[in-house]
Amino acid sequence: MRFVILMHSKEARKQKTGTARLAKLCLTNAELLVGTDFTHNERVNSLLQDPSYNPFVLYPGPKAVNFKTPGNAFATEGKTLLIFVIDGTWNCAQSLLFRSKNISALPRLSFSSSYVSQFAIKKQPMQHCVSTIEAIYYLCKEAEEAGYENLNAQNENLMVVFKKLVDTHLPYQNGKGRRREENKRKKT
Q: How many Å separate Cα 22 from the centre of its chain?
A: 10
* pLDDT value at residue 102: 97
Distance CA 62, CA 55 (A): 18
Low-confidence ranges of the chain (pLDDT < 50): 120-121, 183
* pLDDT value at residue 112: 79
* pLDDT value at residue 120: 44
String of b and e for 84-93 (b: at least 16 CB within 10 Å)?
bbbbbeeebb
* pLDDT value at residue 43: 97
Instruction: Say if pTM beats, i.e. exceeds, 0.85.
Output: no
* pLDDT value at residue 152: 64
Distance CA 188, CA 172 (A): 22
Q: Which helix (H) or strand (E) holds 47?
A: helix 42-49
Residues 23-70 have pLDDT tens digits of: 777 777 889 999 999 999 999 999 999 999 999 999 988 888 888 876
* pLDDT value at residue 123: 61
